[in-house]
Amino acid sequence: MVRVMLASRMGARGWPRSHLGEAMRAKIIWVNGGIMATVTLLTFFLVRSSLAPLLNDSAEIAKAASRAAQAAQVSLSLDASRAERWVAEQAASEEVSLIYSAGLETARQERAMTTANRLKDAAQHDPAFSGAPASLVLFVNADGIGLGRNGSTLMRGENMGAAYPGLLKALSTGRAASDLWISQTRQEQFAVAYGPVRGQDGQVVGVLVVGTPLNDERLRAISDVTSGATLGIALVDAPAPGAIAVSTPGILGPTALEPVVAAARGGGAGTSQGADGRVYVGRPLLGYGDQKALVVASVAPRSADSADAVLGPVLLSGALGLVLVVIGGILLGNYISRPVAEIEEGLLLLINGHRDLRFDLEHDELGGLTSRINALLNALLEVDEGSEDDAPRP
């Protein structure tokens, strides 16, 4: 019996055993894998070619820059409104009023410094300054002269009203307001909120000033939570165009800002496009007094690499599909090739003379074929089909 089985593996006449299973698996994998790869690459290049005009459309880039500038403008205006409300509440407190009721100037200065330190600590944990922490708390008298600030004796006795006219306006109107303190000579760059302080007779006796830094880090944080575009702050009436703060260094230089500032100075829309395809849009910074400043946003055209980054998941899904095709091809090939190999083995045994063998194969697709082969063998060999139950099965 062993000798017969060994002979059957070579065939009755020394025929080599068929590699049907391997060939079938390979064909299934190559055909389905080729289809999957073709569809994936075709999808990638078609979508990439469709996205390229949209990514580089100057009109769409200008709209994106305008939306970025508007979002930054709203964020800064909201910061000013919240700071004004907080400063007005603190200016109306009894603790602040006591600063101005002291008889001696030195006593008022010491009280001002102590209260300024406490208010700065309170502002660090207040949601009103979530956009930027308060770094300056200053008290000035009714003449705009500094009484005391947090952390040091700086600004004590200085004429702050002469340096920043918006402070004198808050003293005269008695209303809370916001302003920009931008001075290269004083090395100050703050967004400040004024809170007028009233005495017992209701007259304005001074102003509480709270300032937050207006720097690159603040604009970078605004860019991260709004649009991701490059943001900058530029003064309209500055002698030379230039950004006082930028979210991305090296982008908003004087050459790029000059047409935007010039357009805003003439009352037009601050929009320009650079030679590199970048679009610059400037919007007025609202809510900060009479200081004319622009929020400038810059958006660059997207390159083909950007489209490739967007379409990366298409290639990943195609690679996953190829892996699934290989796995499915192996499973499907085994499902078909194994019963075919059994039929081939049985036929070789029949060729070698084992004519009493019959097939007994349970398979959804090939089970009917084996039953018909058995019927054909019975008809050719003139065997009663009733005796088939006693025949050995390969």
Give kind and range of the element (H or E) at residue 298: strand 293-299
pLDDT of residue 308: 60
Residue 362 lies in a domain: yes
- Do 166 and 200 lie in one domain? The reply is yes
Four-residue CA torsion sign, 108, 111, 115, 117: positive
- The domain spanning residue 270 has which CATH number? 3.30.450
Query: Does 1 fall in a domain?
Result: no
Report which of 379, 186, 191 is spatially closest to residue 291, judged by C-alpha positions.
191
1, 138, 139, 234, 249 from 84: Cα distances, Å: 101, 14, 15, 23, 30
pLDDT (tens digit, 9 = 90+) per residue, 225-279? 998 999 999 988 887 778 899 999 888 888 888 888 888 776 666 778 776 778 8
Total number of domains in the chain? 3
Rounded to an integer, the average pLDDT of 333-346 is 76
Same domain for 160 and 118? yes
Q: Give pLDDT tens digits for 64-109.
A: 888 999 999 999 999 999 999 999 999 999 999 999 988 788 999 9
Whether 220 is in a domain gets the answer no
Do 281 and 189 share a structural domain? no
d(CA 370, CA 362): 9
Cβ-Cβ contacts under 8 Å for 303 (sequence gap 6 or more): 55
Residue 281 half-sphere exposure, CB side, CA atoms within 13 Å? 22
pLDDT tens-digit map of 8-45 = 333 333 444 455 566 777 777 788 888 888 888 888 77
Task: Give the Cα separation of 347 and 13 in Å (integer).
Answer: 13
> Can you say whether residue 291 is alpha, beta or left, with left for phi > 0 and alpha for psi between -120 and 50 degrees?
beta
- Does residue 261 sit in the same domain as residue 187? no
Strands 136-141 and 146-149: antiparallel
Average pLDDT, integer, range 293-322? 75
Cα dihedral sign, 305-308-313-316: negative
Same-domain pairing of 74 and 108: no
Residue numbers of the domain that contains 249: 58-78+227-300
Same domain flag for 96 and 202: yes
